Amino acid sequence: MGPGFVILFWLLIAGVFGIFWMAGLVIFLIGKSKRSRLMMWLGGIPVASLTMIALAIAGLIGFGIIRATNPRYVYKDAFGERPSADVTTIRSKVYSFADEAHVFLTFRAAPETIHRIVPKYLKKVRYDEYCREMSGNNLTPPPWWKPPDQSTNEIYLLSTDFGQGKRFATETTVMTYDHQTKTAMYFYLGID
Protein backbone atom coordinates (compact mmCIF):
# COMPACT_ATOMS: atom_id res chain seq x y z
CA MET A 1 0.00 0.00 0.00
CA GLY A 2 1.76 3.14 -1.19
CA PRO A 3 1.41 6.74 -0.05
CA GLY A 4 -0.95 7.59 -2.93
CA PHE A 5 -3.39 4.87 -1.87
CA VAL A 6 -3.24 5.99 1.77
CA ILE A 7 -3.91 9.61 0.79
CA LEU A 8 -6.87 8.58 -1.40
CA PHE A 9 -8.26 6.39 1.39
CA TRP A 10 -8.13 9.22 3.94
CA LEU A 11 -9.56 11.70 1.42
CA LEU A 12 -12.47 9.31 0.89
CA ILE A 13 -13.02 9.04 4.66
CA ALA A 14 -12.84 12.85 4.98
CA GLY A 15 -15.31 13.24 2.10
CA VAL A 16 -17.86 10.89 3.71
CA PHE A 17 -17.28 12.63 7.04
CA GLY A 18 -17.84 16.03 5.36
CA ILE A 19 -21.06 14.89 3.67
CA PHE A 20 -22.56 13.76 7.00
CA TRP A 21 -21.37 16.95 8.72
CA MET A 22 -22.86 19.18 5.98
CA ALA A 23 -26.15 17.21 6.00
CA GLY A 24 -26.39 17.67 9.76
CA LEU A 25 -25.65 21.38 9.43
CA VAL A 26 -28.31 21.83 6.74
CA ILE A 27 -30.90 19.98 8.85
CA PHE A 28 -29.93 22.08 11.87
CA LEU A 29 -30.23 25.36 9.93
CA ILE A 30 -33.57 24.36 8.39
CA GLY A 31 -34.84 23.39 11.84
CA LYS A 32 -33.65 26.71 13.23
CA SER A 33 -35.41 28.70 10.50
CA LYS A 34 -38.63 26.68 10.94
CA ARG A 35 -38.29 26.73 14.74
CA SER A 36 -38.43 22.94 14.85
CA ARG A 37 -36.72 21.56 17.94
CA LEU A 38 -36.71 18.05 16.51
CA MET A 39 -34.86 19.08 13.33
CA MET A 40 -32.44 21.20 15.36
CA TRP A 41 -31.64 18.17 17.55
CA LEU A 42 -31.45 15.80 14.57
CA GLY A 43 -29.01 18.13 12.83
CA GLY A 44 -27.17 19.51 15.86
CA ILE A 45 -26.16 16.19 17.42
CA PRO A 46 -24.25 14.92 14.35
CA VAL A 47 -22.65 18.33 13.75
CA ALA A 48 -21.46 18.60 17.36
CA SER A 49 -20.37 14.94 17.54
CA LEU A 50 -18.52 14.96 14.23
CA THR A 51 -16.85 18.27 15.09
CA MET A 52 -15.60 16.84 18.41
CA ILE A 53 -14.33 13.69 16.64
CA ALA A 54 -12.50 15.80 14.04
CA LEU A 55 -10.91 17.96 16.76
CA ALA A 56 -9.84 14.88 18.71
CA ILE A 57 -8.25 13.31 15.61
CA ALA A 58 -6.49 16.58 14.74
CA GLY A 59 -5.26 16.82 18.34
CA LEU A 60 -3.88 13.27 18.28
CA ILE A 61 -2.11 13.85 14.97
CA GLY A 62 -0.69 17.15 16.25
CA PHE A 63 0.45 15.50 19.48
CA GLY A 64 2.19 12.74 17.51
CA ILE A 65 3.97 15.22 15.26
CA ILE A 66 5.13 17.36 18.19
CA ARG A 67 6.23 14.29 20.15
CA ALA A 68 8.27 13.02 17.18
CA THR A 69 10.23 16.28 17.10
CA ASN A 70 11.38 15.94 20.73
CA PRO A 71 14.56 13.78 20.91
CA ARG A 72 13.90 12.78 24.54
CA TYR A 73 10.56 11.23 23.55
CA VAL A 74 12.13 9.55 20.51
CA TYR A 75 14.72 8.02 22.88
CA LYS A 76 11.94 6.83 25.21
CA ASP A 77 10.00 5.31 22.33
CA ALA A 78 13.12 3.53 21.02
CA PHE A 79 14.34 2.10 24.33
CA GLY A 80 11.26 1.99 26.54
CA GLU A 81 12.68 4.26 29.25
CA ARG A 82 13.48 7.89 29.83
CA PRO A 83 17.07 8.98 29.27
CA SER A 84 19.14 8.46 32.42
CA ALA A 85 21.34 11.24 33.84
CA ASP A 86 24.41 10.17 31.84
CA VAL A 87 22.57 10.37 28.49
CA THR A 88 23.40 13.68 26.82
CA THR A 89 23.48 15.37 23.41
CA ILE A 90 20.40 13.56 22.12
CA ARG A 91 19.49 14.29 18.50
CA SER A 92 16.82 12.67 16.40
CA LYS A 93 15.04 12.70 13.08
CA VAL A 94 11.78 10.79 12.66
CA TYR A 95 9.59 10.19 9.63
CA SER A 96 6.44 8.09 9.41
CA PHE A 97 3.82 8.02 6.71
CA ALA A 98 1.77 5.37 4.95
CA ASP A 99 3.87 2.23 4.61
CA GLU A 100 7.22 3.49 5.90
CA ALA A 101 8.77 4.81 9.09
CA HIS A 102 12.35 5.58 9.99
CA VAL A 103 14.24 6.93 12.98
CA PHE A 104 17.75 8.33 13.21
CA LEU A 105 18.93 8.89 16.79
CA THR A 106 22.27 9.70 18.38
CA PHE A 107 23.34 10.42 21.94
CA ARG A 108 26.24 10.10 24.35
CA ALA A 109 26.11 7.72 27.28
CA ALA A 110 28.21 5.50 29.52
CA PRO A 111 28.89 1.94 28.32
CA GLU A 112 26.80 0.54 31.18
CA THR A 113 23.78 2.48 29.97
CA ILE A 114 24.28 1.30 26.38
CA HIS A 115 24.51 -2.35 27.44
CA ARG A 116 21.36 -1.94 29.54
CA ILE A 117 19.23 -0.32 26.83
CA VAL A 118 20.31 -2.25 23.72
CA PRO A 119 17.12 -4.00 22.62
CA LYS A 120 17.33 -7.72 23.39
CA TYR A 121 16.28 -8.69 19.87
CA LEU A 122 19.40 -7.07 18.34
CA LYS A 123 22.40 -9.33 17.86
CA LYS A 124 25.97 -8.13 18.18
CA VAL A 125 27.78 -8.40 14.83
CA ARG A 126 31.17 -7.65 13.33
CA TYR A 127 31.51 -5.02 10.63
CA ASP A 128 31.75 -7.57 7.82
CA GLU A 129 28.56 -9.26 9.07
CA TYR A 130 26.87 -5.86 9.22
CA CYS A 131 27.83 -5.17 5.58
CA ARG A 132 26.53 -8.58 4.51
CA GLU A 133 23.23 -8.48 6.45
CA MET A 134 22.30 -4.79 6.27
CA SER A 135 19.46 -4.27 3.84
CA GLY A 136 19.87 -1.48 1.33
CA ASN A 137 17.78 1.68 1.40
CA ASN A 138 17.71 5.04 -0.33
CA LEU A 139 17.58 7.18 2.81
CA THR A 140 19.95 10.06 3.33
CA PRO A 141 20.88 10.23 7.02
CA PRO A 142 21.16 13.59 8.75
CA PRO A 143 24.72 15.01 8.79
CA TRP A 144 25.18 14.18 12.48
CA TRP A 145 24.35 10.47 12.04
CA LYS A 146 27.29 8.27 11.04
CA PRO A 147 26.92 4.69 9.82
CA PRO A 148 29.27 2.09 11.28
CA ASP A 149 32.70 1.53 9.78
CA GLN A 150 35.70 -0.72 10.46
CA SER A 151 36.62 1.23 13.60
CA THR A 152 33.17 1.00 15.25
CA ASN A 153 33.54 -0.82 18.58
CA GLU A 154 30.07 -2.31 18.90
CA ILE A 155 27.46 -2.96 16.21
CA TYR A 156 24.05 -4.45 16.94
CA LEU A 157 21.71 -5.41 14.11
CA LEU A 158 18.31 -6.84 13.26
CA SER A 159 17.23 -7.20 9.65
CA THR A 160 14.01 -9.17 9.24
CA ASP A 161 12.78 -11.09 6.24
CA PHE A 162 9.53 -9.95 4.60
CA GLY A 163 6.57 -10.64 6.88
CA GLN A 164 8.70 -11.10 9.99
CA GLY A 165 8.57 -7.53 11.39
CA LYS A 166 6.62 -6.54 14.50
CA ARG A 167 4.99 -3.33 13.18
CA PHE A 168 5.92 -3.47 9.49
CA ALA A 169 6.37 -6.27 6.97
CA THR A 170 10.13 -5.84 7.08
CA GLU A 171 12.21 -4.01 9.68
CA THR A 172 15.84 -3.06 10.09
CA THR A 173 17.36 -1.82 13.34
CA VAL A 174 20.99 -0.83 13.82
CA MET A 175 22.64 0.41 17.00
CA THR A 176 26.33 1.25 17.30
CA TYR A 177 28.56 2.43 20.11
CA ASP A 178 31.95 4.13 19.98
CA HIS A 179 33.88 3.68 23.25
CA GLN A 180 36.24 6.58 22.57
CA THR A 181 33.60 9.27 22.09
CA LYS A 182 30.90 7.43 24.12
CA THR A 183 28.54 8.04 21.22
CA ALA A 184 25.67 5.76 20.28
CA MET A 185 23.93 5.76 16.92
CA TYR A 186 20.50 4.19 16.47
CA PHE A 187 18.62 3.60 13.22
CA TYR A 188 15.24 2.01 12.58
CA LEU A 189 13.52 1.42 9.24
CA GLY A 190 10.13 -0.23 8.82
CA ILE A 191 8.54 -0.86 5.42
CA ASP A 192 5.33 -2.59 4.39
Q: What is the pLDDT of residues 25-57, one digit of tens each?
A: 999 999 999 988 898 899 999 999 999 999 999
pLDDT on residue 186: 92
Residue range 74-93: mean pLDDT, rounded: 89
Find the DSSP H helices in the chain. 3-34, 37-68, 71-79, 111-117, 127-133
| Nearest Cα to Cα of residue 92 among 190, 192, 188 | 188
Contact 66, 51 (CB under 8 A): no
Which of the four pLDDT bands, split at 50, 70 and 90, describes residue 160?
A: low
